[in-house]
Amino acid sequence: EVQLVESGGGLVQPGGSLRLSCAASGFTVSSNYMNWVRQAPGKGLEWVSVLYSGGITYYADSVKGRFTMSRDNSKNMLYLQMNSLRVEDTAVYYCARDRAAGTRWFDPWGQGTLVTVSS
């Protein structure tokens, strides 16, 4: 079964850092295009970033220079390193796979992990 499971969310102070993880099963992360999408409490969906199978990354302007996507091929894991966190980064963060590489629509999604940035 194809599945994504996020972890690593929690409470962090403004200016702090956090690393989110996404464990994949049923497929190989390194052969796919992987994304992070976030959703602030009670709000809509915001695309955050993508990591191509070839290693290229793209980021939303709101996180560029602060967030970094990476993967560990040996563990079949995806990561999102978040630095210089702001209150407005508070959201549920979902990892999601491109339905097919380069199509830029997402299936499947993980269940999400909540990041709260607050003092």
Partner 1 sequence: DIQMTQSPSSVSASVGDRVTITCRASQGVSRWLAWYQQKPGKAPKLLIYAASSLQSGVPSRFSGSGSGTDFTLTISSLQPEDFATYYCQQANSFPLTFGPGTKVDIK
Which residues contact partner 1 (rule: CB under 8 A)? 37, 44-47, 50, 58, 60-61, 94, 96, 99, 103-107, 109-112
CB 81 within 8 A of CB 67: yes
Residue 36 vs 79, nearer CB to partner 1: 36
DSSP-assigned states of every residue in 57-85: EEE-TTTTTTEEEEEETTTTEEEEEE-S-
Shortest spacing between CB 119 and partner 1, in angstroms? 27
Residues in a beta bridge with 7: 21
> Closest separation between CB of residue 58 and partner 1, Å?
5
CB of 74 to partner 1, least distance (A): 26
